[in-house]
């Protein structure tokens, strides 16, 4: 198991329920959307972007993964979690496949108007990795 990095605050990887309630008043500088965007429709994405932007620090970045190269994706989003040591665990629980929306960078910018695509990379597993920046 990988040890937690010593240069990060000790609570960076804990689920929200483990964090003090005062932390909800602090702006966030990183958002990990994982593959969630593939499972939202346009109104849901617009609402999500509005809510995230309201809590984001000016230098905030959002990371997301989109099923892009393959025509299908799991019917349900995967689960992603950090353990107490900071190691990331993921699993895809749905064997059933559904059509992947295969969002383009321009389409995502329209659905997430408070954010702009800063960087994108097509990964070996066929997923497109996005880094979004908060628009100023």
User: Is 87 within a domain?
Assistant: yes
For residue 5, being part of any structural domain is answered with: no
**What are 74-133's pLDDT values in tens digits?**
988 878 778 888 887 777 776 789 999 999 999 999 999 999 999 999 999 899 999 999
Structural domain that includes position 72: 25-134
Query: Predicted confidence band at 20 (pLDDT cuts at 50, 70, 90)?
Result: low
User: How far is Cα 73 from Cα 62, in angstroms, rounded to an integer?
Assistant: 21
The pLDDT mean for the chain works out to 84
* 6 within a domain of the structure (yes/no): no
Q: How buried is 130 (Cβ within 10 angstroms: 0-12 exposed, 13-18 middle, 19+ buried)? A: buried
For residue 97, tell me if it sits in a domain: yes
Q: Is residue 29 part of a domain?
A: yes
CATH number for the domain including 89? Answer: 3.40.50.150
Confidence at residue 94, expressed as pLDDT on a 0 to 100 scale: 67
pTM: 0.77
State how many domains the chain has.
1
Q: Are strands 56-67 and 28-34 parallel, antiparallel or unpaired?
A: parallel
């Amino acid at each position: 198991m990988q040890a937690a990095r010593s240069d990060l605050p000790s609570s960076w990887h804990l689920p929200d329920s483990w964090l003090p309630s005062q932390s909800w008043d602090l702006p966030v500088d990183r958002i990990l959307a994982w593959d969630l965007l593939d499972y939202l429709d346009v109104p849901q994405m617009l609402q999500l972007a509005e809510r995230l932007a309201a809590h984001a620090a000016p230098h905030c970045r959002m990371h997301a993964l989109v099923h892009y190269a393959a025509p299908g994706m799991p019917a349900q989003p995967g689960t992603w979690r950090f353990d107490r040591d900071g190691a990331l665990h993921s699993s895809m629980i749905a064997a059933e496949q559904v059509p992947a929306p295969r969002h383009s960078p321009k389409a995502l910018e329209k659905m997430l108007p408070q954010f702009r695509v800063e960087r994108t990379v097509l990964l070996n597993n066929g997923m497109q990795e996005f880094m979004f920046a908060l628009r100023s």
